[in-house]
Structure 1
Amino acid sequence: MLVRASHRQTLPAQTSSTQQLELVSADGAAEHRDYGQIDSSALDQFGGRCVVLYTSLPGAQPIFARESKKMLDVLDTANIEFLAVDGADPERKWVREALWKAAGTKVYPLLFLDNKLFGGY
């Protein structure tokens, strides 16, 4: 499944105890999936999907933003479907903290696949 001209999907802001993610297939059909509130079992909530925690703000650690962009570009170029979570977005704090906890580190970017940490900066 694709998301509107890109393989990148973004996690919606937390507005309630459950989240919906809109997935759009190549033929334009939309599918909505619920993701429960992310907690210590954060990776289980994504069902083994490829998830990238990145930052869009250079802030105090410009290398994190630069490396985040590189990782997102590589996945886009390779046509790999992934869920992108911008940890710089205050509305994503709940998932950022959970993914950092699952990884055991607070860096950007982090790449998870099949509920396993595959790498980061």
Structure 2
Amino acid sequence: MDMTAEHEIHLLHDKLQAWFRAGIAADALDDLMAHFCADFSMVGIAGRRLDRSAVQALFAGGHGARPGLQIAIEAVQAMEAPMPLAVLRYREGHAVGAGEPTWRESLAVLRQEDGRWRWLALHEVAVA
């Protein structure tokens, strides 16, 4: 199935929401990590660069850590990039239960590998 890179943005965040709520089993970590390239890295809102291994450890320690987490993705905007890459900007909001969301601006680079989109790089900043 050939998905768009924008669809992958939503798919992964749906899985992350389920992961942090413990809505999926802890043995789903390999499926979650299959969304990331082997050379994936990200800079989170704390300003630290994490490689794929560090992200996997963060996920492993966070299973079920945020019950009631709601992740909203909006304003997805594709930017021109040569294949097999896709570059997308989007706003991501996190809220727990009925709380107000905390927003971040994200820039993601995805690479098409073996017919599916995988995350290559992510840079997030907190919205002021």
* TM-score, normalised via structure 1 length: 0.29
* TM-score, normalised via structure 2 length: 0.28
